[in-house]
Amino acid sequence: MTARHDRFIAMKLICLLLLWGVISGRAQDAAIQRSVDSLLSMMTLEEKCGQLNQIPANWKDGVSYLTDEGKEMVRRGQVGSLLNAAGASSIREIQRLTVEESRLGIPLIIGVDIIHGSRTIFPVPLAEASSWDPELVQKSARVAAVEASAAGIHWTFAPMVDIARDPRWGRIVEGSGEDPYLGSVMAAARVRGFQGTSLADPTSILACAKHFAAYGGAEAGRDYNIVDMSERTLREIYLPPFKAALDAGAGSFMSSFNEIAGVPSTGSKFLMTDVLRGEWGFKGFVVSDWTAIGELIPHGVAANRAEAGALAINAGVDIDMVSKIYMDELPALVRSGKVSPGTVDEAVRRVLRAKFRLGLFTDPYRGASTERERKSILSVDHVKAAREIGQRSIILLKNEESLLPISKQTKTIAVIGPLADNKDEPLGPWHAGGKAADVVTVLEGIKSQVSPQTRVLYVKGCEIEGDSGARFVEATLLAKQADVAIVALGESERMSGEAASRSNIDLPGVQRELLKQVLSTGTPTVLVLMNGRPLTIAWEAAHTPAILETWFLGVQTGNAIADVLFGDVNPSGKLPVSFPRSVGQVPIYYNYKSTGRPFDELNKYTSKYLDVTNTPLYPFGYGLSYTTFSYSELKLSSQKIPPGSDVSVTIRVTNTGRRKGEEIVQLYVRDVVASVTRPVKELKGFQRVTLDPGQQKTVTFTLKPDQLAFYGLDMKRVVEPGMFKVYVGGNSVDVVESEFELTDH
């Protein structure tokens, strides 16, 4: 028996003990560390650098595979991870080749962008954030993990936790909107869903918090553009969701393409080592974004690939996604002393530790099989979960004269628009293994729920973009025959997501004209929006009696929307992003600073525009219901709060309407005077409350001392005494107000 064989037996035994939970906690870490060190001691420098090299799988006829070159790299131990492979049988074959035909047989870790579902596609993350329901969001991520792991995937490049205040930026669709608190809650929920209670569980997949950091702050909303912000804004607004993901146990991070104030993230020691590992104690690994290490050259901070590789590895980026710089350049960099062997060893340890935690040394296949995959995807429970979160992701923006809900006995319903019977766009960007055939369209959803006597008429009316308007006449004729018109308008899924910034965020093409034609018939009209970002819909909002914001809801789009249209579900969604009146207002967000000349409608010499008011068309946290709610009796535990004490906040919420409904009660705080300027409002808590007609409930929040902290003049976290405003309401504008003084002793 070779020494290597004995060592592997020992490692397998340790992994089985880990899997059985016989050893846990510190003992587990120590056991893994011993196995990692033992394996590391057997590796050549080239094999170590190979563990830090990630290559993409190829695809042909819907099957992922490795090219001959890729197979040879794997056999030579030059590949540690693979991205974009999927399918249990093809992944099993790739892993077999790795463990049986390479010298040390170290299994690959296989990652895919499982962003909002694997085969059962859920609402896009921005839609899920609109539910303000972390339990449902966690469930969505759990379903995604169960389906992805069945297909042999070990790791997802999610959650994307980038704060976005600029709807021109297409990737706003992939995150949880503009607020650090909501973004943090959603980030943690997704990590818990993906990783489950143990990474050794074969249904768990490793999460990856991305894109570290501040990618959403791209200047002018233009993807990949520079980010130039203060460290205070970075820490107050953009970093909290990453810290929340880490605190929830995220096993990996992804470095972002952008620079921050002159330093590209992928070469930033401040971010990848000082903050992530030094301040936050992160023990996982960092993967670069796609070719981001090579992009340090066009960024202008590396003259060649070797310099780029040295900069990235020394900053703390462990895995090189696709640029092959670590494989090609790192061994020579170590031998020439430009990179210390210890730096490479530490990066390899982090990667190997993750592979041990995933149980890959126990079972490199983690039980993936075509049978398990077949049973898992699109199961009844998974599809039901997609419908449920779809329902809760829908936001009622307007409902004049209670046009909604409409009766299932309506005599004639006209369904119009390029998104009304569309199976492709509702999957949204980053739809992994999702298939258009799995999608229930708006038209199908409506038809499945109306009475047998109801006539449902349909016409597309126009394309999403371009179009001569030649079919307007047909749409108008149809609308004239109907008792109500449902007009489904919006964006194509490729108009948001990566490399999809828009300078004009109106409804594309001639869709507004189509809506005008339908409205001109006088038929009561409901606008159903399907889009990946806030749109400038001031005209639509002024002229349409009812509007639903549905984003892209995935496979259950039509059923979820019909559930709300016909009132089986009372909508409870709330905006996670502000809707601008004009793109000229962007960036626009609720937690803005007062300035020395705060906006005053009547005073020219205040911070404002000549041609549009400052307020958004629809504010952060906004969403209506088929019932109404009132807020009263806001009470605080005391008007004077000693330092270090909690503040209890209670509010009475009443259902003042005629239908049962759910309300997301939101708590905001303002630090009125501090040593640095503070936002006019900051979300500090929210709770869902369900009320029958006329029912009242008292909702209690506990404001913890640290929730009043901010980064002071010296950039250290501080809580300062003084006056604080407290606001509670159903959105960030319509609130009831109180205040307390935080005393200094």
Binding flags for ligand GLC, 262-281, as an x/- string (CB under 6 A): --------------------
Tokens for 269?
A: 């020691």
Q: Is 112 or 443 the residue whose CB approaches ligand GLC more closely?
A: 112
Give the CA count within 13 Å in the CB-facing half-sphere of 598: 6
Please give the C-alpha separations between residue 190 and each of 223, 245, 386, in angstroms, as whole numbers: 24, 8, 15
The answer to whether the beta carbons of residues 343 and 314 sit under 8 Å apart is yes
Q: Mask of contacts with ligand GLC, 208-247, x by CB under 6 A?
A: --x-------------------------------------
> Please, is 343 exposed, middle or buried when counting C-beta atoms within 10 Å of its C-beta (0-12, 13-18, 19+)?
middle
Least distance from C-beta 179 to ligand GLC, angstroms? 21
563 touches ligand GLC (CB under 6 A)? no
Instruction: State how far Cα 396 lies from the chain centre.
Output: 21
Q: Pick the closer one to ligand GLC by CB: 65 or 224.
A: 224
715 C-beta neighbours (distance < 10 Å), count: 12
In 581-614, which positions are buried (b, 16+ CB within 10 angstroms) versus exposed (e)? bebebbbbbbbbeeeeeeeeeeeeeeebeeeeeb
C-beta of residue 131 within 8 angstroms of C-beta of residue 137: yes
Site track for ligand GLC across 440-479, x = CB under 6 A = ----------------------------------------
Phi first, then psi, for residue 517 (nearest 5°) are: -60, -45
Spell out, one character per residue from 122 to 161, where the chain touches ligand GLC: x when CB under 6 A holds, - when not.
-----------------------------------x----
Count of C-beta atoms within a 10 Å radius of residue 628: 16
What single string gives the DSSP state of each residue in 59-122? EETTEEE--HHHHHHHHTT--SEEES---HHHHHHHHHHHHHHSSS-PPPEEEE--SS-SSS--
DSSP 8-state symbol, 256: -
Closest CA to 621 of 719, 527, 728: 728
Distance of closest approach, residue 432 Cβ to ligand GLC, in angstroms: 10
Q: Look at the alpha carbons of 465, 470, 476, 482 in this order and tell me if their dihedral is positive or negative.
A: negative
Closest-approach residue to ligand GLC (CB): 157
Q: Compute the chain's Rg from CA coordinates.
A: 27
Nearer to ligand GLC, 117 or 580 (CB): 117
Nearer to ligand GLC by Cβ, of 172 and 397: the residue is: 172
Nearer to ligand GLC, 291 or 615 (CB): 291
H helix intervals, 550-589:
557-565
Residue number with CB closer to ligand GLC (112 or 482): 112
With CB under 6 A as the contact rule, the residue among 73, 94, 102, 113 that binds ligand GLC is: 113
Of the candidates 302, 231, 241, the residue with the CA atom closest to the CA atom of residue 270: 231
CB atoms within 10 A of CB 378: 16
Beta carbon of residue 97, minimum distance to ligand GLC (angstroms, whole number): 23
x/- letters, 68..87, toward ligand GLC (CB under 6 A): ---------------x----
- Residues 6 or more apart from 412 whose CB is under 8 A from it? 454, 455, 456, 457, 481, 482, 483
* Min CB(288)–ligand GLC separation in Å: 9
Residue 739 β-bridge partners: 725
Q: Do residues 576 and 620 make contact, with C-beta atoms less than 8 angstroms apart? A: yes
Which residue has tokens 């019932």? 627
- Binding-site residue total for ligand GLC (CB under 6 A)? 7
745: tokens are 């002793």
Using an 8 Å Cβ cutoff, are 523 and 478 in contact?
no
Residue 227 has, within 13 A of its CA and on its CB side, a CA count of 30
Q: Is the CB of 282 or the CB of 290 nearer to ligand GLC?
A: 290
Q: Does 290 bind ligand GLC (CB under 6 A)?
A: yes
Cis? peptide before 56, omega within 30° of 0:
no
The least distance separating ligand GLC from the CB of residue 137, rounded to whole angstroms, comes to 19
320 counts as binding ligand GLC under rule CB under 6 A: no
The yes-or-no answer on residue 289 being catalytic is yes
Does residue 498 bind ligand GLC (CB under 6 A)? yes
Gap between the Cα atoms of 125 and 140, Å rounded? 10
Is the Cβ of residue 327 or residue 484 nearer to ligand GLC in the bound state? 327
Q: Which is nearer to ligand GLC, 210 or 235 (CB)?
A: 210
Q: What residues numbered 341-370 form the site for ligand GLC, per CB under 6 A?
A: none
Give least dist CB 128 to ligand GLC, A.
17
Specify whether the backbone of 20 is left (phi greater than 0), alpha (psi in -120 to 50) or beta.
alpha
289 binds ligand GLC (CB under 6 A): yes
> For residues 290 and 579, which CB has a smaller minimum distance to ligand GLC in the complex?
290
Q: Write down the least CB distance from residue 456 to ligand GLC, Å.
A: 39
CB of 83 to ligand GLC, least distance (A): 6
Please state the closest distance from residue 483 (CB atom) to ligand GLC, in A. Answer: 45
List 113, 133, 179, 289, catalytic entry: 289
Q: Torsion over CA of 17, 21, 24 and 30, rounded to 10 degrees? A: 20
Per-residue binding string, ligand GLC, 192-211, x by CB under 6 A, is: ------------------x-
Query: Residue 165 and residue 180: Cα distance in Å, rounded?
Result: 11
Sign of CA dihedral 254, 256, 260, 266: positive
Which residue type, as a one-letter code, is found at position 22? V
Residue with tokens 């981001």: 292
Residue 81 CB, shortest distance to ligand GLC, in Å, is: 12
| Percent composition of the chain: helix, strand, coil (DSSP 3-state, to 5) | 35, 20, 45
Nearest-approach distance from CB 70 to ligand GLC, in angstroms:
17
Least Å distance between CB 141 and ligand GLC? 15
Q: Would you say 113 or 166 has its CB closer to ligand GLC?
A: 113
CA distance 17 to 31: 10
53 or 585, CB closer to ligand GLC?
Answer: 53
Our CB check for ligand GLC shows the closer of 210 and 392 to be: 210
Least CB distance to ligand GLC at residue 430 (A): 8
Q: Does 190 bind ligand GLC (CB under 6 A)?
A: no
**By the criterion CB under 6 A, which residues form the site for ligand GLC?**
83, 113, 157, 210, 289-290, 498
Active site amino acids:
289
